[in-house]
Amino acid sequence: MYLDHRVTVKIARVLNMIDLSALLLDSSGNVILPEGDMRTFTMPDEVLQNPTVPFVYGAMTLIGTAEEQPVFVCLHGDTEDVKKCAVLCAELINMMMREDMSQTSREQSLRLMLRGDVEGAEFESLAAEHDIPMQKNRCVLYFYFQDMEVEAAMQMMGDAVDNEHDLITEVGHHSVAMLKAVDDEEDFSELEEYANAFESSFLTETGATVYIGISDPREDLGSIPEAFAEARAAINVGRVYHAGKHVFVYRNLLLERFLSDVSPELGANYNARIFNRKTARLFNDEMIHTIETFFDNSLNLSETARKLYIHRNTLVYRLEKVQHAIGLDLRNFDDAVTFKMMMLLGKGENTRKLRL
């Protein structure tokens, strides 16, 4: 379950008052609070089947907040006092979450729709209440402001929002989601330019970094939660495989999404076939930059040499060194694809670390 950041702030205050190494987990065992804790715990079947009953797991006490779509309080200790404390925490958090769900402002309703917390008749009722058409071609843009709190970022967005056609809401401490109208495929192709212009302008004005993910378009408002997930996934995947970029289009990351499903262990094993001790001196920063520029320019020797400010023969010499060392001629399309996949597989271990 995705929690509104305003609620997580309140829950964090409660957990900080408890001197029991308190954690808040989702149903998959991922740590929600404290923020920045990237651990994942194995959730016992017993606590998933009876979430509102305190369950002692090792030296920890687990309890869910509700029967349906619970989050889980995890306290260090297994005494009766700890169990009672866990029950009180869970009930208090449940009250906060119910209060959050009861708010039906347009912005709050949009948050509920995006994160999939309402569906069916309730979804359509909220859309009608706030005059949000069910049928309209839209994309979700997810903005992650790395160095700025969301309230300040919202004020800075200003003219980037078309108030007549676009809807915008906060979805995290540093995150904003925009439901943006798209008339046709031509308009969709311009979204990346729009996002790049916003990112550049924001960096110039504030010096802060913003990452932007763009979903596939949807005609039915009911499928917007899927688009929201795509926009977030675009950033999560894009930051791993394209460290220098800040704007990521979900539909353009097909290879990267495939590679992110490969286990880090398997990816590292294949990556080591090319990148190892024997080739470490060859694949220094300059050589990697040369190869990436060559790929970015569609294996065009002349254009790559011009971008790198080197002679064409120098570029050919570098590529021939690679061919001699590993047997792959990067001027050949198939060999270039093989090399790029092996190179990208080595980045898979960063997937979890960079997840939003």
What per-residue confidence (pLDDT) applies to 350?
58
Same domain membership, residue 129 and residue 30: no
Same domain membership, residue 279 and residue 184: no
Residue 237 to residue 257: CA distance in whole angstroms: 7
Name the pTM for this structure.
Answer: 0.69
Same domain membership, residue 244 and residue 122: yes
Kindly state the average pLDDT of the residues 297-317. Answer: 95
Give the CATH number of the domain where residue 93 resides.
3.30.450.30
What per-residue confidence (pLDDT) applies to 211?
95
Same domain membership, residue 143 and residue 55: no
Provide the residue range defining the domain that includes 278: 262-350
Interval 148-162: pLDDT, tens: 888 888 888 876 777
DSSP symbol at 30: B
* Structure token digits, residue 14: 């409660």
Instruction: Give every CB contact of residue 176 below 8 A, 6+ residues apart in sequence.
Output: 142, 143, 145, 150, 153, 154, 157, 168, 169, 170
What element of type H or E holds 291? helix 285-296
73 within domain boundaries: yes
- Contact yes or no for 176/143 (Cβ under 8 A): yes
Interval 233-280: pLDDT, tens: 999 999 988 878 999 999 999 989 998 888 888 888 999 999 999 999
Same domain membership, residue 204 and residue 142: yes
Residue 155 to residue 161: CA distance in whole angstroms: 11
Residue ending a domain, among 38, 70, 102, is: 102
- Is residue 324 helix, strand or coil? helix
Interval 59-89: pLDDT, tens: 889 999 887 778 899 998 888 888 888 888 8
What total number of domains does the chain contain?
3
Q: Is the pLDDT of residue 134 over 80?
A: yes
Q: Which residue has the higher pLDDT, 36 or 65?
A: 65
Q: Is the pLDDT of residue 100 over 70?
A: no
Residue ending a domain, among 257, 274, 294, is: 257
Give the CATH number of the domain where residue 323 resides.
1.10.10.2840
Residue 30 to residue 33: CA distance in whole angstroms: 9
